[in-house]
Chain A
């Protein structure tokens, strides 16, 4: 598949701080790319650079296969940070202004987009009277003006209610599948991101830690059985005995067993036969959040309840 965006050692330095540090990512056409990172990790700065709002200190990026300086950026739509709006204008007028800026002649595109994001009934209501969620929707509509091939959305579901989150997810999926629009999305709601994105970039302290696709992520964060027993060392030969090879002794009383989710009954049976008491035997499902925390070294925060 064609690579639509490629960055090469992008670095952005503010004063003495490296906001983005040698980031090289590649995004294929049709991807929904989830950018994951905590606050201040460098996600927004990276998004601002690739959407043409900030210049990298060093490094370069290519959009649609062309070098940055020769690229027409009209094929990129973006919603970076909060939605930029004029408080005294209506949603329609905002879209009309963007339409003029991009130079689109098509009549009625404003209403079409307002309908798409669920703001069709706002009429003459000024944006200053909008809720945060409504502003987010307007921001997405603004990003979609001009039929962009690449849409960059920074925290698009911030402030949305659960129903709104589902609606926005459906819109993104529909535009991706029907129009072939590529999306780069950052979000703190990792579970939500895991439902929509097919590739992920994990960024921390300005550095890209890992780029991973959905299938690999599922494989890497594969489900496991967590077995807690006071005789963990006695259990291991028994697991071998019933042909379970993929396990890991985590501590004196905890064993992780992989690739045997369906064999919990076999495990409990063999332990019962050998009179080994089971404290807990549970199937653990790894989440994107777990994977992210494990990768960035913040897992202890979760374990300590922080």
Chain B
């Protein structure tokens, strides 16, 4: 296993995509923070304009009408009857975020951690896994070395270990990009002070993301094709996760009553990632970690079994 791990780490180091994904993640997260800053400034400007208008009193228009139009048109416009631009912006932002508020509480820690608990980093992890895990199958390089061992699980563990290293790198790069960008653009609005809380939550998130990586490794081992890993993972990420588990939850609720708060999604890796916020309760934390551990063990075990039985 050690030899295979050395080989995979070397390959990770030599592949351009490794660096491109990290750089893209950093740029996007940096850009998102910048955009948030611009949006907040725009909201401030709107707010200031409104205050200025309020100070000046009701808006009065001088309008001249011809005789036919003169009948029922009010000459004074009441501000309260106009749609509030800030409200519209907030509502549209809220709609775009699928009902989830951008920041639960107004502090920098939660803003930073939102990108992790909001499953955003999974996108980069999916792209990495699709490229890295399937490359030996797709290009056929695996034929050069897999025959030298009886226990093919060694190779799965080597791939998984390399994936963990990459996930750690992705977390470090993303966290630094967010920290720096927040310091630059949002230091006043979202100050960060609880660094230990951030690190602790990031470690939980890292564990959950590694569990998701194990599922990607399984899909890559079974299919051996980048396109299949990308399509299935993105479909699950974008649509399948909510759709499947919402339907299953409704179905189960028809037969058994687990209470209103019960949802099957909390027993998935993506559901666990969403739960692992800075203020997560101990019970929810334990549950999420147990769910991730079980899924990880099953996925790695299934990957080992698949490769062991697979004809290359």
Residue numbers of A with Cβ under 8 A of B are: 48, 51-55, 69, 71-74, 76, 78, 80-89, 93-94, 96-98, 100-103, 142-143, 146
Kindly identify which residue among B3, B7, B14, B147 contacts A51, using a CB–CB cutoff of 8 Å. B147
The docked-state distance in angstroms from the alpha carbon of A88 to that of B140 is 14
Which residues in B have their C-beta under 8 angstroms from that of A82? 140
A69 touches B150 (CB 8 A): yes
B147 touches A103 (CB 8 A): no
Identify which of residues 1-56 in chain B touch chain A, using a CB-to-CB cut-off of 8 Å: 2-4, 6-7, 10-11, 14-16
Which residues in B have their C-beta under 8 angstroms from that of A51? 147
Please judge, given known A-B contacts A73-B149, A73-B150, A89-B14, whether A84 and B7 are in contact too, CB under 8 Å: no
Which residues in B have their C-beta under 8 angstroms from that of A52? 146-148, 150
Kindly identify which residue among A55, A69, A74, A84 contacts B144, using a CB–CB cutoff of 8 Å. A84
In angstroms, how far is the closest chain B Cβ from the Cβ of A136? 13
B206 within 8 A of A: no
The docked-state distance in angstroms from the alpha carbon of A71 to that of B149 is 9
Kindly identify which residue among B3, B11, B15, B141 contacts A103, using a CB–CB cutoff of 8 Å. B3
Which residues in B have their C-beta under 8 angstroms from that of A78? 143-144, 147
Which residues in B have their C-beta under 8 angstroms from that of A102? 3, 145, 148
Interface centre among A55, A83, A96, A97 (most CB of B within 10 A): A97
Which residues in A have their C-beta under 8 angstroms from that of B309? 55
- B107-136 vs A, CB cutoff 8 Å, 1 = contact: the mask equals 000000000000000000000000000011
B311 touches A98 (CB 8 A): no
Please judge, given known A-B contacts A73-B147, A76-B147, A88-B16, whether A100 and B142 are in contact too, CB under 8 Å: no
B312 touches A101 (CB 8 A): no
In angstroms, how far is the closest chain A Cβ from the Cβ of B19? 12
B66 within 8 A of A: no
B64 within 8 A of A: no
B139 touches A85 (CB 8 A): yes
The docked-state distance in angstroms from the alpha carbon of A87 to that of B15 is 10
Interface centre among B14, B15, B144, B311 (most CB of A within 10 A): B144
**29 CB-based A-B contacts, threshold 8 Å:** A52-B148, A53-B143, A53-B311, A54-B311, A71-B150, A73-B147, A73-B148, A73-B150, A74-B149, A76-B148, A78-B147, A81-B140, A82-B140, A83-B140, A84-B140, A84-B144, A85-B139, A86-B141, A88-B14, A88-B15, A89-B14, A93-B14, A97-B141, A100-B3, A100-B7, A100-B10, A102-B148, A103-B2, A146-B148
In angstroms, how far is the closest chain B Cβ from the Cβ of A85? 6
Kindly identify which residue among B10, B142, B149 contacts A84, using a CB–CB cutoff of 8 Å. B142
Q: Give chain B's interface secondary structure class.
A: helix
Which residues in A have their C-beta under 8 angstroms from that of B16? 88
The docked-state distance in angstroms from the alpha carbon of A142 to that of B140 is 13
B148 touches A48 (CB 8 A): no
Interface centre among A71, A74, A100 (most CB of B within 10 A): A100
CB closest residue in chain B, given A69:
B150
The docked-state distance in angstroms from the alpha carbon of A114 to that of B225 is 30
- B274-312 vs A, CB cutoff 8 Å, 1 = contact: the mask equals 000000000000000000000000000000000001011
In angstroms, how far is the closest chain A Cβ from the Cβ of B59? 64
Shortest 9 CB-CB contacts between residues of A and residues of B: A84-B140, A52-B147, A54-B311, A101-B145, A100-B7, A84-B141, A53-B312, A103-B3, A100-B6
Kindly identify which residue among B3, B142, B143, B150 contacts A81, using a CB–CB cutoff of 8 Å. B143
B135 touches A53 (CB 8 A): no
A55 touches B311 (CB 8 A): yes
In angstroms, how far is the closest chain A Cβ from the Cβ of B152? 9
Identify which of residues 75-124 in chain B touch chain A, using a CB-to-CB cut-off of 8 Å: none
Which residues in A have their C-beta under 8 angstroms from that of B10? 96-97, 100
Please judge, given known A-B contacts A52-B147, A73-B147, A89-B14, whether A97 and B7 are in contact too, CB under 8 Å: yes
The docked-state distance in angstroms from the alpha carbon of A88 to that of B18 is 13
CB closest residue in chain A, given B311:
A54
Which residues in B have their C-beta under 8 angstroms from that of A103? 2-3
In angstroms, how far is the closest chain A Cβ from the Cβ of B133? 14
The docked-state distance in angstroms from the alpha carbon of A229 to that of B288 is 93
Which residues in A have their C-beta under 8 angstroms from that of B7? 97-98, 100-101
Kindly identify which residue among B139, B146, B312 contacts A87, using a CB–CB cutoff of 8 Å. B139
The docked-state distance in angstroms from the alpha carbon of A84 to that of B142 is 7
Given A78-B144, A78-B147, 20 more contacts at CB 8 Å? A48-B312, A52-B146, A53-B312, A71-B150, A73-B148, A84-B141, A85-B139, A86-B11, A86-B139, A93-B14, A94-B141, A97-B11, A98-B144, A100-B7, A101-B3, A101-B4, A101-B7, A101-B148, A103-B3, A143-B144
CB closest residue in chain A, given B6:
A100
Which residues in B have their C-beta under 8 angstroms from that of A84? 136, 139-144
Which residues in B have their C-beta under 8 angstroms from that of A97? 7, 10-11, 141
In angstroms, how far is the closest chain A Cβ from the Cβ of B155? 9
The docked-state distance in angstroms from the alpha carbon of A296 to that of B3 is 45
The docked-state distance in angstroms from the alpha carbon of A152 to that of B184 is 60
In angstroms, how far is the closest chain B Cβ from the Cβ of A127? 9
Which residues in B have their C-beta under 8 angstroms from that of A53? 143, 146-147, 311-312
The docked-state distance in angstroms from the alpha carbon of A53 to that of B14 is 26
The docked-state distance in angstroms from the alpha carbon of A102 to that of B14 is 19
The docked-state distance in angstroms from the alpha carbon of A55 to that of B312 is 9
In angstroms, how far is the closest chain B Cβ from the Cβ of A273? 66
CB closest residue in chain B, given A99:
B7
Which residues in A have their C-beta under 8 angstroms from that of B141? 84-86, 94, 97
CB closest residue in chain A, given B143:
A84
